[in-house]
Amino acid sequence: MSCQKAALELNTGSQPGPKSPERTEDVTAFEDYGTGLLENQLSVCDFVKIQKAFESPEPRKIICMSREDFTQKMTEIVGWGTKEEYGELFDKVDVAQDGFINWDKLTSFILLELNKQDEQAKATVVPQWKDLEFLPVKHKDNIQKVIFLKSSSHYLTISKEGLLAIWGENLKLQETFPITSDATKLKHLWVTSLVSLENVNKIAVAFTSKEICFYDLLSKEEFACQYKLQGLKGTPICMDYWYDPLDANESILSFGDITGKVQAIAFTAALISLFERPASACEDGEATMTINWAELLSGCHKCCHILEHKLHQGDWVRQVTYNASLDAIISSTTSNTNSVVLAWREKSKKHLHMTSFNIAQGIHAFDYHSRLNLIATAGINNKVCLWNPYVVSKPVGVLWGHSASVIAVQFFVQRKQLFSFSKDKVLRLWDIQHQLSIQRIAGSFPESQDFRCLFHFDEAHGRLFISFNNRLALLAMKSDASKRVKSHEKAVTCVLYNSILKQVISSDTGSTVSFWMIDTGQKIKQFTGCHGNAEISTMALDANETRLLTGSTDGTVKIWDFNGYCHHTLNVGQDGAVDISQILILKKTILVTGWERAITVFRPQNFNQFFIQPEEWKGGIQHHHDILCAAFLPPQTVVTGSYDGEIVLWNSSTESAHHVLHPDYQRLLKSKLDTKPQKLLSAGRSHSTHPVADQSTMGVRNFEIDNEGKNAVMRLCFLKVRKNTAVTGGANLVSCGGSGYVRFWDIYKKQLLAEFLAHSGAGTIIMSTDKMNRYLTTGDLDGWLKIWNIEEYCLNSSKNKITKAPTLIRSFQPHEDRISSLEMCEPGGQLLIISSSADCSICVTGVCNAPVWIFGQAKHWHIENYLFLSKRDTNLVESNIQKEISLFSKEESCLDPTEHSLLNKKNKDDSTYNVRPSEDINLGIKYKERSTCMKETQKPYYGEVIKKSLSAFRSLSIGVLEELPEVNKPAFLLDPEKYFRKEPEEERPQIPEAPSLFETLKAVFDEKNLFPKEILDHERKAKQLCQEKSCEVKKNKK
């Protein structure tokens, strides 16, 4: 099987002989050479024939062939190729020159060739980058270091003035802290370097005061300094840390200073303690333990020892690192003598043996690739040199191409490529094997003559960080679309869960609907071209979950059964294109909302034709901007949310609106045109809305409208489990949308109870909740999902608005693009989150640290084998999360926006973050374009009489309802005996029973009477004749 798979990769064609000579133009030289080889032209069928030639009729007997036999048989069996070509193949396989080969040797050679070609293909893959982005840093001086903490999935950046910034994995700024101590309060004291001690959850910071401070990341206090190493002879300006992954007690902290010294502290019990605590420190009870360098040199601390050398002879050590595969400390300077020094650890591990490289004009930086065993150096002489660490005389390769001195190099380890960055701001990517530049990026970086540069490539996340003084630029790699699992061919727009069939239903922009099994992820059926070529924007299931409704940009809603038959087409857009955002199915009506200020209504009892026209919604138009979403609370409450942040409360029975909610105000609707704002019951924002000129003729007031969509309501969700909120108070409606905020409302008291920032800087968000209203899931434009515990959140009313976020259970990024739809379901009592995205994928996962599966992946899953957490286990996980929350486990959404500077308006400014160019992601740009077009073709929405509505029906004016007169009890209630008493039964004449068939039958029925007499006589004569002949035959035999 392995050979057949290998052959399939070499040549998938079934026809014998070489492939067609047609080739693309951008093929490298080694590919042309490889394609002409015989082994690369053999097909699967050819290899099957060759395998049969090596098969023996006797079991466990291996057939070997000599060169002559192999060439003769192969030309006969395969049917193409010359004897010379098969002879060359034989010589390649017979490396040991034994004079014979067998099937195992041949397949081993083919697999090795395939692996070699894969490595060559990886080395020539050119990464694609997103647009250059500058992160919103708070640093005021040069950025000295960027590191990633694997344990907490956070980035750290530190600048010269001592400001430490904490970033989430999504590169959203969370916190900034000044690194302060008694010594660092001096005016001209700078931070020089930072390293992470991952195995002990600490960081080490070097200062110009000739000291290194160790900070505990798990401390309850903000950056508690645990150790302070003082008394160093020179100022440390570069550091590196390594620990043994097999034994985390073994670790090495190496650093170089301005005097040319390279020093290292080798820890032997790091997990227990880095340094031994002196008795005096215990007596004084000091939180910070001071360690003197002289104590370490004298060997007072048994848990560590010192390694050092002075081979750089007074030159500043620019970079230092310890490499475990070489068991050596590598350091560099800008001097042309001893430019790179390798300090090899001897067997005793306490002494060093040095070798050095002398490089003309010196180097700025270096990097080491352990698999290739190469050291790359960034030369001041514009060259990038590749060195074998054991050969100091000359480099094994020189990469030419830069026209200015190279200031940074770093290996792309997985692809065996090399980054280099020069002083003229040119970034190059090199193919190490062929020593060629395969990519050049220039012109995107800021124009500054003198700058301090920091270069860091985070290979795990595909992110390249380059600092220019106090500015931090980011180049993010685009994902390899060919490797990413796709659920649909085009962007997924909506996802639903059918609890009866236990199936997931998804739709995409290509008008395709797919059905998946939730238990295994298997696709079971697919409907294509549901709305022609128009995009399916939303879907819904009826109450019985037996009908599927699909809404499209062609302005129609279609009703389907699960066999793919369309029963009705609802004409929402009146034969015009309409963006349908939501379909809400009530008991007697179907409400459709979209980029329109009115609600479109259909009544199923009137569905007597295939094409259905909309009917009138008695409530008319109450929104000033387009309706984006809606929700229903039995028995008769409907809410609709619009682009300007207003939430209108309706009575579904009378189809009338009675209240408008907004984060900044609320107003009571006595009539259709009564839009006078009232003071909000809760503590809203500091600014207020100001009415403008009064239109006395109509009584209409204009007030400040959100034209940028900061308050846009993208999703509305009722907390239906909270049935007693009308009596006890508390939130029973959740809204989310613009600016990443989630809001909790009490619709009975018309009050905003809580508001928190769920996703910082992520634009608009969407959400979903489970049936028991225990968890809330939110998703943003970057593909991030967050799961919150809201079971005990906002259960009671309060005078002051709550700004603290609920408990964050999980935060992760299952998608690479905008999350378009969310659904929470519980098949078999297991709570699952289903998400769809514009990256063409649909993911499903659990609440607490469950794996993420993608519908369409090759391997099917069995959810019951993974999701076994009961409610008790889930609560245990949540309590552990609460206990273990430390400085780096805080999410940006948990921060109070009024207390943290990282959430102020400067960080929310559009100039801070790069906006996606695609129209379907940027809600603000999309709405502005539509709004501009609409304003040119119609009159303003408010401020004057609306003569004609653009919706499917005319606007109705509904005044105040008149008081009804007193209604008397009906007569049947006053005298029920008269209307409901039982009447005496009257004697009715008995109807005689019909006689039975047996009694009326005059004679026995014989079916022969049905046929004419002539036919019966003919049949009787034929039987007699037959009998006579048979008798004669018997007599003759006797």
* 56 band by pLDDT with thresholds 50, 70 and 90: confident
User: What is the structure's pLDDT at 641?
Assistant: 94
**Contact yes or no for 832/845 (Cβ under 8 A):** yes
User: What is the structure's pLDDT at 851?
Assistant: 87
Q: What is residue 982's DSSP assignment?
A: P
* Residue the block writes with tokens 């099994």: 517
Q: Token pair of 233, please? A: 């002879």
User: What is the structure's pLDDT at 449?
Assistant: 74
Cα–Cα distance for residue pair 331/321, rounded to 1 Å: 7
Rounded mean pLDDT, 383-409? 94
What number of residues does the chain have? 1038
Does residue 369 carry a pLDDT above 90?
yes
Reported as half-sphere exposure (CB side, CA atoms, 13 A), residue 376 has a value of 29
Does residue 232 carry a pLDDT above 50?
yes
Does residue 839 carry a pLDDT above 60?
yes
* 838 band by pLDDT with thresholds 50, 70 and 90: very high
* 33 band by pLDDT with thresholds 50, 70 and 90: very low
User: What is the structure's pLDDT at 683?
Assistant: 36
Share of the chain above pLDDT 70, in %: 76
Q: Which one of 24-38, 58-72, 185-199, 712-726 scores highest in mean pLDDT?
A: 712-726
User: What is the structure's pLDDT at 611?
Assistant: 92
DSSP code string of 501-542: TTEEEEEETTS-EEEEETTT--EEEEE--TTTTS-EEEEEE-
User: What is the structure's pLDDT at 481?
Assistant: 58
Residue 843 or residue 702, greater confidence? 843
Does residue 472 carry a pLDDT above 60?
yes
Cis peptide before 635 (omega within 30 of 0): yes
Strands 713-718 and 665-668, bridge-based pairing: unpaired
* 736 band by pLDDT with thresholds 50, 70 and 90: very high
Residue 892 or residue 284, greater confidence? 284
pLDDT, the chain, mean: 80
> Per-residue pLDDT tens for 573-623?
876 777 899 999 998 899 999 868 889 999 998 898 999 999 989 889 999
- Average the pLDDT over each of 471-480, 732-741, 742-751, 836-845 and give the range with the smallest value: 471-480
Rounded mean pLDDT, 943-969? 46
User: What is the structure's pLDDT at 997?
Assistant: 52
* 883 band by pLDDT with thresholds 50, 70 and 90: very low
Q: Which one of 516-525, 868-877, 943-952, 1022-1031 scores highest in mean pLDDT?
A: 516-525
User: What is the structure's pLDDT at 1019?
Assistant: 82
Reported as half-sphere exposure (CB side, CA atoms, 13 A), residue 359 has a value of 29
Cα–Cα distance for residue pair 747/200, rounded to 1 Å: 50
Q: What is the phi-psi region of residue 935: left when phi exceeds 0, alpha when psi lies from -120 to 50, beta otherwise?
A: alpha
DSSP code string of 311-365: TTTT----EEEEETTTTEEEEE-SSSSS-EEEEEE-TTSS-EEEEEE--TT-EEE
Residue 328 or residue 52, greater confidence? 328
> CA distances (Å), 665 to each of 662, 684, 688, 689, 764, in order?
5, 8, 8, 8, 21
User: What is the structure's pLDDT at 1012?
Assistant: 76
Q: Which one of 52-56, 636-640, 1022-1026, 1027-1031 scores highest in mean pLDDT?
A: 636-640
Does residue 710 carry a pLDDT above 80?
no
Does residue 22 carry a pLDDT above 50?
no
User: What is the structure's pLDDT at 1007?
Assistant: 60
Share of the chain above pLDDT 90, in %: 47
Cα–Cα distance for residue pair 728/608, rounded to 1 Å: 46
User: What is the structure's pLDDT at 915?
Assistant: 31
Does residue 111 carry a pLDDT above 60?
yes
**Contact yes or no for 790/758 (Cβ under 8 A):** no
Does residue 23 carry a pLDDT above 60?
no
Cβ-based burial of 480 (10 A; exposed 0-12, middle 13-18, buried ≥19): exposed
The candidate with the shortest Cα–Cα distance to 3, out of 94, 128, 93, 132, is 93
Does residue 665 carry a pLDDT above 70?
yes
User: What is the structure's pLDDT at 744?
Assistant: 96
User: What is the structure's pLDDT at 702?
Assistant: 39
Does residue 697 carry a pLDDT above 90?
no
User: What is the structure's pLDDT at 27?
Assistant: 33
Rounded mean pLDDT, 255-269? 94
Element (H, E) at 122: helix 103-123
- Average the pLDDT over each of 451-460, 685-694, 882-891 and give the range with the smallest value: 685-694
Q: What SS3 class is residue 888?
A: helix
Rounded mean pLDDT, 694-715? 54
Rounded mean pLDDT, 436-463? 88
Q: What is the pTM of this model?
A: 0.50
User: What is the structure's pLDDT at 642?
Assistant: 92
Does residue 891 carry a pLDDT above 80?
no
User: What is the structure's pLDDT at 774?
Assistant: 95
Cα–Cα distance for residue pair 477/132, rounded to 1 Å: 10
Does residue 966 carry a pLDDT above 70?
no
